[in-house]
Chain A
Amino acid sequence: AAGVIQSPRHLIKEKRETATLKCYPIPRHDTVYWYQQGPGQDPQFLISFYEKMQSDKGSIPDRFSAQQFSDYHSELNMSSLELGDSALYFCASSARGPGYEKLFFGSGTQLSVL
């Protein structure tokens, strides 16, 4: 079965650079979520989208923005990167209806800011 696809798997950036992370949800899933997991920490909710509209917002810095496109894929744009942004970034998806609460996670993008 198709899973959530994230790209790239690994990304290395310098301070003050920008980064774009991509997420392709499971086919027919209409909701996408972004989570950030710092080293040795639990995942923290950043933002979510339903039907291409922002649904909820968590602890996402103003330097970050995200959107969901017409094909339901989502991109997380990160600017003015800081050392503290180094983390594993997860994307998850789910589908409205029975079982909506079951989030399926991708393998994550490991971002390292040097």
Chain B
Amino acid sequence: AQTVTQSQPEMSVQEAETVTLSCTYDTSENNYYLFWYKQPPSRQMILVIRQEAYKQQNATENRFSVNFQKAAKSFSLKISDSQLGDTAMYFCAFMPNNAGNMLTFGGGTRLMVKP
């Protein structure tokens, strides 16, 4: 079984600054995917970024980037130039690369972007 841990229940950042959200996971799988999902107050679950474990290059999507450390089983999310619309709950999630496609989520980090 896999576990995903987000050690920061809440974080805040000033608008336009950079913030990093932490995530660690535990698995015996060698091939898998990692995701960051954003859940704003509307409660819609929105995919922010995804990383394939066999790729060493860190994924980047505009202002969002990850620091993937496979040996350390660490997958942090960096948000640059934070915007008020980034205020949301952020979930780190793990998916083994098999036919199941089941996501295991971490407990979430509530991010508040302050003006």
Contacts and interface: CB of A to CB of B under 8 A. Distances in A.
Contacts of A101: 33, 50, 95, 97, 101
Which interface class (under 10, 10 to 19, 20 to 34, 35 or more) fits B?
A: 20 to 34
B101 A108 contact: no
Instruction: Describe A's contact surface by its main secondary structure.
Output: strand
A43 B50 contact: no
A48 B98 CA distance: 14
A1 to B, nearest CB: 14
A55 B99 contact: yes
Nearest to A104: B47
A88 to B, nearest CB: 6
Interface residues of A, number: 25
A35 B95 CA distance: 14
B43 interface: yes
Interface of A: 31, 33, 35, 41-45, 48, 55-56, 58, 88, 90, 92, 94, 100-105, 107-108, 110
Interface of B: 33, 37, 42-47, 50, 91, 95, 97, 99-108
